[in-house]
């Protein structure tokens, strides 16, 4: 794969992931019930803004955004293995959102109201898809890059210089 083809492929992968991410931010992402009575839905943008604070309650799903950002940058630089590891890490971190079911979260500053997660809305699933696009794109580019080599790389090539 030539450098210009690589650039176009990376640009396409990143554009698809970015569009999915923006769509995820504009959709409802998580459905809560306030005090087991009133339904409340958080938009994706709200989850993006408040996500880092989830770490104080043992919720690390937001940090998948950081991992996938670095995976995308490293993928653009052809660091396939590191990007793959970061992509898998981002999906694993994102799966931490499933641990929110059945847990109680503060619904206000005073701790009077409590939130209980009820559903994952479409925004959450589109966010998962945006993460997966970069991971799958990395795998495809890595495969194309390694299959386009004229000669397979041997371990002795690195030893002999």
pTM of structure: 0.84
Instruction: Please give the pLDDT value at position 152.
Output: 47
Residue 109 has φ and ψ, to the nearest 5°, of -70, -30
Mean pLDDT across the chain: 88
In a domain, residue 161? The reply is no
Specify the pLDDT at position 153: 45
| Structural domain includes residue 55 | yes
Taking only the tens place, the pLDDT of each residue in 92-147 is 999 999 998 888 888 888 878 888 889 999 999 999 999 999 999 999 999 888 88
**How many structural domains is the chain composed of?**
1
Residue at 61 is within a domain: yes
- Residue 101 forms part of a structural domain: yes
| Position with higher pLDDT, 21 vs 103 | 21
Decide if 160 is inside a domain: no
Q: What is the pLDDT of residues 2-16, one digit of tens each?
A: 778 888 999 999 999
The yes-or-no verdict on residue 35 having pLDDT over 90 is no
141 is a domain residue: yes
Please list the residues that pair with 101 across neighbouring strands.
117
Residue 108's pLDDT is 81
List 38's β-bridge partners, or say none.
34
Domain that holds residue 20: 3-150
For the four alpha carbons of 12, 62, 34 and 103, in that order, the dihedral sign comes to positive
The verdict on residue 157 lying in a domain is no
Asked if residue 122 belongs to a domain, the reply is yes
pLDDT in tens, 41-60: 999 999 999 999 989 888 89
pLDDT at 67 over 90: yes
Angstrom CA distances, 74 to 16, 21, 48, 77, 126, stand at: 17, 19, 23, 5, 23
């Amino acid at each position: 794969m030539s450098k210009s083809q690589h650039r176009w492929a990376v640009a396409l992968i990143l554009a698809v992931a970015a569009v999915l991410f923006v769509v995820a931010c504009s959709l409802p992402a998580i459905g809560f019930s306030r005090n087991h009575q009133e339904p409340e839905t958080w938009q994706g943008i709200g989850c993006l803004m408040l996500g880092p604070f989830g770490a104080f309650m043992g919720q690390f799903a937001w940090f998948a955004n950081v991992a996938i950002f670095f995976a995308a940058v490293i993928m653009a630089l052809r660091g396939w293995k590191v990007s793959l590891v970061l992509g898998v890490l981002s999906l694993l971190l994102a799966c931490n959102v499933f641990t929110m079911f059945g847990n109680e979260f503060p619904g206000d500053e005073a701790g009077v109201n409590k939130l209980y997660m009820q559903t994952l809305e479409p925004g959450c699933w589109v966010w998962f898809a945006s993460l997966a696009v970069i991971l799958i794109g990395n795998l495809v580019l890595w495969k194309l890059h390694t299959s386009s080599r004229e000669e397979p790389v041997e371990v002795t090539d690195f030893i002999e210089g």
